[in-house]
Amino acid sequence: MKYIYGPIKSRRLGLSLGVSLSPDKVCDLDCVYCQWGSVGRTVFERKEYADPKEIISELKSWLEDNPRKAKELKFITLSGLGEPTLHSGIGELIETIKKIVPASKIAVITNSSLLGDPLVRKELLKVDLIVPSLDAIDPGIFKRIDRPNEGIKLDQIVHGLVALRKEFKGLIWLEIMLVSGLNDDLVHIMGLKKVIEEINPDKIQLNSPVRSTAEKDIYPVERAKLEKIKEILGEKAEII
């Protein structure tokens, strides 16, 4: 299958069936820590990077072939090989998936890059959980760690996350990927805390790269420092 993977017993989501909205990596960021590696380019255009009918066909096929596992699923998760909100049909796909698998919740894992677009936020309103990321609030740090397409602006990401909280009635678990020496400075974390208070997520999930990464010499933050960052960010924060 090109678009369906798993199910994966996720640390955060339980038994989750993944749905990729592109057959290859398509992203508007080129994060140094990406486990899929770097393709050397980013995209900014929203379009149908995969035929929605093919995605739904694969999902139906998997459900028919795995009736027992289908009943155990906690989430259908839109993520995969790139940024799912780049797919212009994500809203319709969400509606179709909810009809096909009404017993399962839908999650979207996003890099937050397009949440400044009111249409993108509207397309996500019918899911149960959104896991957006925010690795930096300093533009220089953002460029070094997330290496965005030139069309992506950090202030629009922050604005989009704040607006999402006001519009979205489901759960928001904000993920921060912490890379040693890049975005783990405690002064930066204090600034990040102020922005997170505006966003008001239900959880703050601290992560650090443990798998192979796009670039060499990318290291996780040591546990003691992660604990300190968790303490700074408050009771909503947890280390993944």
C-alpha distances out from residue 57 to 2, 62, 104, Å: 11, 9, 17
Q: How do residues 117-126 score in pLDDT, each as one tens digit?
A: 999 999 999 9
**Given a cut of 80, is residue 175 above it in pLDDT?**
yes
Q: How many domains does the chain have?
A: 1
Q: What is the dihedral of CA 123, 2, 66, 68, to 10 degrees?
A: -50
* pLDDT attached to residue 210: 81
Find the mean pLDDT for residues 93-99.
Answer: 95
* pLDDT attached to residue 40: 80
Average pLDDT, the chain: 94
Q: Range of 115's domain?
A: 4-239
**Given a cut of 80, is residue 80 above it in pLDDT?**
no
* pLDDT attached to residue 102: 87
The enclosing domain of 181 has a CATH number of: 3.20.20.70
* pLDDT attached to residue 36: 80
Which residues are 18's β-sheet partners?
5, 77
* pLDDT attached to residue 96: 96
For residues 165 and 163, give the distance between their C-alpha atoms in angstroms, rounded to a whole number: 5
Name the helix (H) or strand (E) containing 207. Answer: strand 203-207
> How far is the first Cα of the chain from the last one, in angstroms, to the nearest whole number?
29
Q: How do residues 178-221 score in pLDDT, each as one tens digit?
A: 999 999 999 999 999 999 999 999 999 999 988 777 778 889 99
